Amino acid sequence: MRAKVGISAAAVLLSGAGLGLATATPAAAYAGYCNGQIDKTISNSGFHAKIPAYNGNVDCYMNKGAQSKAVSALQTTLNKCYGRSLDVDGIFGNATKNALMHAQDVENISADGGYGTQTRTNIEWAFQYSGNGRWSCFDITNW
């Protein structure tokens, strides 16, 4: 009982001083900030795509300011599937944010310009056919 009182008293003191206790945020569900990409293949089809990932896990997030291969993967998809004209430079700047907001709006999801699970599972991804280099866009929700 004494420990609970001490913790509660500390929380009150910290909040009174403008220092709240840390709480979990929605980002806590993610593996981490997207820092690379994985190759996703549609089984036996010859189509493959680069998907943003954090150390091989596609449950990652990123937003304006990110710089990585994950951003390049997203930029390619935004160009091929949503008609944007981004430089595929791996830099998540204003143009990438605006292009992502466009794609989010098209897919009727929260158009906040940030990338996470909702965006990954609802946008179409640019898949390239290994036989002739042709691009196609697919919506794959079961990753």
Cα atoms in the 13 Å half-sphere on the side-chain side of 6 = 3
Domains and CATH numbers, the chain: 26-138 (1.10.101.10)
Report if pTM > 0.75: yes
State the average pLDDT for the chain.
Answer: 83
pLDDT digits 0-9 by tens, 54-101: 999 999 999 999 999 999 999 999 999 999 999 999 999 999 999 999
